[in-house]
Amino acid sequence: MSSRKGQKNAARVVREQIAREKRRKRTLWTTIAAVLVLVIAGGIGWAVYSSQKSTSFTTPPGANADGTGIVEGDGPVTIDLYEDYQCPVCKQFQQVSGETLKQLVSEGKAKVVFHPVVFLNRFSTTEYSTRSAAAAGCAAKGGKFTEFTDQLFAKQPPENSAGLSDAELIDIGAGVGLNKDDFASCVNDGTYKSWTEHVTDDASKAGVTGTPTVKVNGQEIQDKTPDGIKAAVEAAGK
C-alpha cells in the first residue's frame, strides 16, 4: 500500500510540474504576442505620423527647393545660415557679420539661405522661437524677409521671457513696409508654424546642433568673422 501511495504522489507531483510548465509557456507566449502587437502598432503609428509631418507644412515664397530656408541672392557659392531669433549669439553674429553677407549677395559672389530654426523654444514661456520664425515666413511672403529679420534681432527679447507678443511682431512687420492687415492675418493664423518644424527637423538631420551655424557650399566654417566668411567664399568659388 505504501508503495502504491508513493507512486500516486510521485505521479501527482509530475502532473503538477507539467501543468505549471504549460501555464508558464502560455504566459510567456501571451506576453510575447502582446509585445509584438505593441511594436507593430507603434511602427505603424510612427510611419503615419512621419508621413503626415513631412507633408503638412506650407512653404513661404522665396524658399529653396527643399523648403528649408529663405534664399537671398543667386551667387555661385551657397552660404547656409542657421539661426534662432531668440539666440543672443545669433544677434551678435548679425551685428558683426550680417553686413558682410549682404555685401556678398549684392556683389553676386554668393547666395544666402537663411534657416530660421526653433531650438530655443524651451527658453520662452510662449514658444517665441516658433512664433518669430513663423512670422518671418509671413515677412518672406510679403517680400521683406531680410528687413524683418534685421528688426527681430535688433529688438530681441531676453531669454526665459514671453518674448515679443504677436501684436508686437505685427507692428515690426508694418514698420518694415509690410501690409499690416495681410501680415497680421498670416501671423495670427500661424500659417508657417508647421514650416518652422520642417526647417528645424532638417537642420538636425544635417548635423546642426547649435546656432549660429554657417556652412559654405555644405562645409561648416568655424571662423564666422567677416574675414573668415569672405575667405571661405573665395576658396569655395575657385
Q: Which three cell numbers stand for residue 141?
A: 511672403
Q: Which three cell numbers stand for residue 175?
A: 514698420
pLDDT at residue 26, as a whole number: 72
d(CA 82, CA 230): 18
Classify residue 219 by its DSSP letter: E
pLDDT at residue 56, as a whole number: 85
Q: Which three cell numbers stand for residue 50?
A: 512621419
pLDDT at residue 93, as a whole number: 98
pLDDT at residue 55, as a whole number: 57
Across 138-218, where does the E strand assignment appear?
213-216
Residue the block writes with cell 507678443: 165
83: closest CA among 144, 35, 149? 149
Each residue's pLDDT expressed in tens, for the chain with a length of 238 residues = 555 555 555 556 556 666 676 676 676 556 555 434 333 433 443 343 344 444 589 999 999 999 999 999 999 999 999 999 999 999 999 999 999 999 999 999 999 999 999 999 999 999 999 999 999 999 999 999 999 999 999 999 998 899 999 999 999 999 999 999 999 999 999 999 999 999 999 999 999 999 999 999 999 999 999 999 999 999 998 7
pLDDT at residue 164, as a whole number: 97
Classify residue 216 by its DSSP letter: E
pLDDT at residue 46, as a whole number: 32
Count of residues in the chain: 238
pLDDT at residue 15, as a whole number: 66
d(CA 93, CA 226): 10
216: closest CA among 109, 98, 89, 133? 109
Across 32-188, where does the E strand assignment appear?
70-72, 77-83, 110-116
